[in-house]
Amino acid sequence: MSITRQRILFVVIAICMSFSCGVFADDRTADEVLAELDSIKMPTYERSKRSDRKFMAKIRVEIRALNLKKSKLAGELFRVDPDHERLGKLMPLRWTYLKFDLEQSATITDEMQEIFTSAPDTELAKRARFEYASKKLYDNSKGREKSMEDVSKAVESFISHHPEDSRNFNLLKNLAIAYGFGSNEQLALYNRIKKSYPDKSKYIDTKIKQIKSIGKPFELEFQDAITGTTISMKDLKGQVVVLDFWATWCRPCVAEMPHMKKLYAKYHDEGVQFIGISLDKSEDQGGLAALKKYVSEKEIPWPQYYQGNKWASEFSTSWGIGSIPAMFVIDKKGNLKSTQARYKLEKLIPQLLAE
């Protein structure tokens, strides 16, 4: 890579302002910077200490501080020797780490843009384009990037420069998510992905299915894993139904269960039914036993659809469930109202009860 010092002047200033170094101070040599960087040793610990919360909290603080120091040193190396061969590995690590840091956001964005603008055909420029697109998507997900046009441009720039890169599928998928559920842009991207990646068409079809099924009758019939009773959506018409895709091995699912129980207790008598869609392991692997034990111990009062095949379970797979907990809501007419109901139940349930 060949980047002139004039071209990186604004990056130098940004880095120095961020890390309190002087633009006109005597710079260290690349070797001196690397010597300090290579001297950094991450803390080690015995596996037996993983259960010690105070110790692990202390380790995490130390690791964060050392990663921040490494990131600072990578920026310094870029400043004093922008052509150094080790920047190919150090800068992407710096960007990956600092993209979570609001104070450094503008600095690393400037670095990425400078690299892929001034040296567009290098491997580091490719990494910069990818990290830039990823950062735009990440910032959008956190509400810090309001311009979907800029997010789309960043993604499309990487794809146009590197059309065969295996990461393009995930970039397009995440861009589709960023546009918002059911938007025209999202549907257009899903159709584009299907055409460009036919091997992913089954997965994309489930996402399109979620969108096109809103407002249409929702079908489900199963035997409750706890009581053996047959549960059918046909018999639940007139009630608001919440489907909770979860598993006993899923920590976020378990963490949300007390809140789910409160909601159930508050609204069940008003005409709300909950149904658990279990992604627990197979019966041979103890999945059914784990489900029954948890439901009994935690006094979960609603029916459980035990699918018995974890992520490969047929019903949840047919709806594109790739992360849990996930929640669907069906209205009193038996029509699918939302496939994005997590964090929205407190608002959705009263609205649907009032209809």
The tens digit of pLDDT for each residue in 118-157 reads 889 888 899 999 999 999 999 999 888 889 999 999 999 9
Q: Would you say residue 13 has pLDDT above 50?
A: no
Quote the pLDDT of residue 3.
41
Contact 162, 168 (CB under 8 A): yes
Q: CA 258 to CA 147: how far, in whole Å? A: 37
**Contact status, residue 168 vs residue 159, Cβ threshold 8 Å:** yes
**H-helix segments, the chain:** 9-19, 30-38, 53-80, 87-98, 105-118, 123-141, 148-161, 168-179, 184-196, 201-213, 251-267, 287-298, 314-318, 345-354
Among residues 205, 196, 143, 198, the alpha carbon closest in space to that of 165 is found at 196
Per-residue pLDDT at 18 exceeds 60: no
Predicted confidence (pLDDT) at residue 23 exceeds the cutoff of 70: no
**pLDDT value of position 22:** 36
Q: Which of 101, 177, 98, 97 is nearest to 137 (CA)?
A: 177
- Please report which helix (H) or strand (E) contains residue 306, including its range: strand 304-306
Q: What is the pLDDT of residues 164-183, one digit of tens each?
A: 999 999 999 999 999 999 99
Each residue of 248-307: pLDDT tens digit?
999 999 999 999 999 999 999 999 999 999 999 999 999 999 999 999 999 999 999 999
Burial-class residue 296 by CB neighbours within 10 Å (0-12, 13-18, 19+).
Answer: exposed
First to last CA, the chain: 63
Rounded distance between C-alpha atoms, residue 209 and residue 56, angstroms = 43
Rg (CA), the chain: 26
The mean predicted confidence, pLDDT, of the chain is: 90
Q: What is the DSSP string of 19-69?
A: HT--TTSPPPPHHHHHHHHHT-------GGGGG-HHHHHHHHHHHHHHHHH
Pairing mode of beta strands 304-306, 272-278: parallel
Percent of the chain beyond pLDDT 70? 93
Looking at residue 106, its pLDDT comes to: 86
What sign has the CA pseudo-torsion 224, 227, 230, 235?
Answer: negative
User: Mean of the pLDDT values across residues 5-13?
Assistant: 37
Q: Which amino acid is at 112?
A: M
Which H or E run includes 273?
strand 272-278
Confidence bin at 8 (pLDDT 50/70/90): very low
Look-up: residue for tokens 């089954």?
202
Q: How large is the average pLDDT for residues 78-107?
A: 87
As beta bridge partners, residue 304 has 276
How many CB atoms are closer than 10 A to CB 233? 19
Cα(173)–Cα(176) distance, integer angstroms: 5
Evaluate if residue 35 carries a pLDDT over 50.
Answer: yes
